[in-house]
Amino acid sequence: MIVCHCNVIVKAEIEDAVRRILAEDPAGRLEPQYVYRELQKRGRCCGCFPSVNRIVDELLAEAMKEVDGTTFGRVSMGGHLLPKD
Ligand code: FES
């Protein structure tokens, strides 16, 4: 599924970029411009950015299911895993 028509970026590429960012730095920035930087692309019309945010949120929600029951329990506004309260 093409998410960004300007750069022809598909959902799987965005997910892979997010995984690479987090593998390099678990506190890495996940806003669309940083995801696109990882892909060596730039936003043009930026109309896809809400979709990129949604994909990142879905990915983090899935990650939270995997770590549920561990010491992490929340995701910050920046998309970072935070300890349970
Ligand atoms: S659709 Fe992604 S920058 Fe235009």
Indicate whether residue 3 lines ligand 1 (CB < 6 A).
Answer: no
CA quadruple 37, 39, 41, 43: dihedral positive or negative?
Answer: negative
Q: Which residue has the tokens 């990650």?
A: 63
Task: Name which residue sits closest to atom 2 of ligand 1, judged by CA.
Answer: 4
Indicate whether residue 46 lines ligand 1 (CB < 6 A).
Answer: yes
- For 16-73, how does the pLDDT look when each residue is reduced to its tens digit (9 = 90+)? 999 999 999 989 999 999 999 999 999 999 999 999 999 999 999 888 776 665 655 6
Query: pTM of the prediction?
Result: 0.78
